[in-house]
Amino acid sequence: MTPESILKKQFGYDNFRPVQKEVIDKILNKNDALVVMPTGGGKSIIYQLPALMLPGITVVISPLISLMKDQVEALKANGIPADFINSSLSISEKNEVFRLIKNNHLKLIYVSPERLVIDSFIEFLKNLDVSLFAIDEAHCISVWGHDFRPEYSQLSVLKKHFPNTPVVALTATADKITQNDICKQLNIDKSNKFIASFDRPNLSLNVLPAKKRYEFIRDHIKRHPNDAGIVYCLSRKSTESIAKKLRKDGIKTDFYHAGLSAIRRNQVQDDFINDNTLVICATIAFGMGIDKSNVRWVIHYNLPKNIESYYQEIGRAGRDGLPSDTFLFYNFGDIILLRKFAKDSGQPEIQLAKLERIQNYAEATTCRRKILLSYFNEHLEHNCNNCDVCENPPETFDGTVLAQKALSAIVRLKENVPSGVLIDVLRGSMRYDITSKGYNKIKTFGVGRNISNFEWQRYLLQMLHHGLIEIAYDDHNNLKITDPGKDILFNDKKVEFVKQISAEAFKSKKEKIQNIITLPENELFEILRTMRKKIANENHIPAYVVFHDKTLKDMVALMPLSYEAMLGVSGISEHKYKKFGEPFLQKIIEYSKTQDGD
């Protein structure tokens, strides 16, 4: 059988994605490989498919118990004999798995790195026919990677014990230094490095000012009541408070952060995976071990600390390739807090530089996807047409006079006030703090009255972005004027500002667009989704292991009325059809009859 026919028969897919086939050929020719591919890119098939074609067993090294479980369930659903060995198993369960391996009943075995390097386990493997080693999350092997794990670094012994067994290392995040380090440690020839595009065109990218962000989130969820999504927050406290507010507004939601007990965390994660809770408010602790393919939106309540984390977090949306939305809320307060974190971190220069890059992204006035991809050294030729900047190209205007008003006030206030006080002075506030200090006596008091507090915040952000002002984090966050700022104030230099669009205006625009392009809730899709949930519950597996959203959508689009037609649907393998397909076919036939009379 060819790789293509196995792809169709076992996984139900018609075509390989870029890079998959090339690497599979390498592996089948007994070569090693390093694969860098974004989350959702399709890394698993790269070793699962050769595992089926090669004679012996494939050993997959994976760092997380929950990931192993997910993958093994998905394989079993496709009729592929696979299992895992980790600390969640009882002794007798472990013995049973060892027995299956010895009797050549398994094609894939998932183990943790700690388990793999135990001498007795290596000896056990040496007595078997090991076809392939697959190292998932391979960036953990390198101290340069962003998630180094000491137990991974011992994996370099693999080549010593198994010089003739190919090794494939896979990761979603590795910069050049990390890639080279992985190759070096695992003795992978650099010519066998495969890097897939990091573009995820199905994710819409939107950045919004943080004002009224709660209302925006609530309305977004209400408009998509059947969609799963994650609200990422900076603090544990805000995960709890937002979840509480959403519940008050009638939305079923949970919160997740590292302060919860392990049992509670597992519970929340399981409920999310199984579509019991669709909305989770979480810190970035949530998501590492989640393969859920039908996350339809990810919202960042706060600015993330760098582009790598941001990209990984939004990458949890839309793994199935269907359109999914991401929103990032951006405000002044977050920057102040994140700058403080960066300064207090072990590597202030690097962290501050990284923070600046994500600020640039958030302030972008050109296609956001271009900026993101260029961060990963990839260059998109055309604008993406799926980001808020492409959809609403910003209008600019001459902001020189506005900037001069603010800069002049900063100078007259002796660079001794933070942004909030500055805005109050510009807007002519008579609150006690202002008058008691005599700030109402300065010449620029009230010169910016006609501009709202919110708009001033946004213009100050732009001034910061243009380098006209600085925030003195070590001096009460007071604003200071820079040399380029002085050029604007004293030397007739000009500056352009971007007109601001509020979250509300954005929302109504987006709603209009969505009302035009999205069909009314599809009846058949809902019928099939309900059926899927029932089958998933009966089998104690996540709904997306039964069929992905994409597969259900395909059924709705193709309306297959026979066994053969069902096999033409993306994601339905013969085995899967036998296991789960029949009731779906029946529902589609039933539904098609009700439509005939129309």
What does 17 interact with, of ligand ADP, Zn ion, none (CB < 5 to 8 A by kind)?
ligand ADP
Backbone phi and psi for residue 111, each to the nearest 5 degrees, phi listed first = -140, 160
Q: What's the closest the beta carbon of residue 136 comes to ligand ADP, in angstroms?
A: 8
**Cα separations (Å) of 317 from 204, 387, 460?**
10, 15, 32
Backbone phi and psi for residue 87, each to the nearest 5 degrees, phi listed first = -70, -10
What does 220 interact with, of ligand ADP, Zn ion, none (CB < 5 to 8 A by kind)?
none
What does 41 interact with, of Zn ion, ligand ADP, none (CB < 5 to 8 A by kind)?
ligand ADP
Q: What's the closest the beta carbon of residue 228 comes to Zn ion, in angstroms?
A: 25
Q: Are 147 and 64 in contact (CB under 8 A)?
A: no
Question: From start to end of 22-93, where are the E strands?
Answer: 33-36, 57-61, 82-85
Residue closer to Zn ion, measured from CB, 292 or 369: 369
Q: Are 524 and 553 in contact (CB under 8 A)?
A: no
Of the CA atoms within 13 Å of residue 391, those in its CB half-sphere come to 16
For ligand ADP, the binding residue among 32, 83, 227, 291 (CB under 6 A) is 291
Applying CB under 6 A, which part among 32-40, 331-339, 431-439, 530-538 lies near ligand ADP?
Answer: 32-40
What does 162 interact with, of Zn ion, ligand ADP, none (CB < 5 to 8 A by kind)?
none
> Could you tell me how many residues of this chain bind ligand ADP (CB under 6 A)?
18
Question: From start to end of 126-282, where are the E strands?
Answer: 130-135, 167-171, 193-195, 203-209, 228-232, 253-256, 279-282
Q: Is 44 in the site for ligand ADP (CB under 6 A)?
A: yes
Residue closer to Zn ion, measured from CB, 217 or 373: 373
What does 16 interact with, of ligand ADP, Zn ion, none (CB < 5 to 8 A by kind)?
ligand ADP
Residue closer to ligand ADP, measured from CB, 370 or 550: 550
Written as six digits, the tokens of 563 are: 């066994």
Query: Residues, the chain, total?
Result: 598
Residues numbered 389-428 forming contacts with Zn ion, rule: CB under 5 A: 390
- Give the whole-angstrom CA distance, residue 350 versus residue 336: 17
Q: Is 320 in the site for ligand ADP (CB under 6 A)?
A: yes
Lookup result for tokens 């302060």: 259
Lookup result for tokens 């386990």: 121
Q: Is 76 in the site for ligand ADP (CB under 6 A)?
A: no
What does 40 interact with, of ligand ADP, Zn ion, none (CB < 5 to 8 A by kind)?
ligand ADP
Residue closer to ligand ADP, measured from CB, 268 or 545: 545
Strand pairing partners for 479?
Answer: 471
Residues numbered 352-381 forming contacts with Zn ion, rule: CB under 5 A: 367, 369
Residue closer to Zn ion, measured from CB, 139 or 369: 369
Q: Is 41 in the site for ligand ADP (CB under 6 A)?
A: yes
Q: Is 319 in the site for ligand ADP (CB under 6 A)?
A: yes
Burial 443-458, CB ≥16 within 10 A → b, else e: ebbebbeebeebbbbb
Q: Is 139 in the site for ligand ADP (CB under 6 A)?
A: no
Q: What's the closest the beta carbon of residue 306 comes to ligand ADP, in angstroms?
A: 20
Helices 523-539/582-596 angle, 10° precision: 160
Residue 222's nearest CA partner among 249, 254, 203 is 249
What does 351 interact with, of Zn ion, ligand ADP, none (CB < 5 to 8 A by kind)?
none
Residue closer to Zn ion, measured from CB, 228 or 384: 384
For ligand ADP, the binding residue among 10, 23, 33, 40 (CB under 6 A) is 40
Task: Collect all residues with Cβ–Cβ distance below 8 Å to 115 and sequence separation of at least 6.
Answer: 85, 86, 121
Residues at the interface with Zn ion (CB under 5 A): 367, 369, 383-384, 387, 390
Residues at the interface with ligand ADP (CB under 6 A): 13, 15-17, 20, 37, 39-45, 291, 293, 319-320, 548
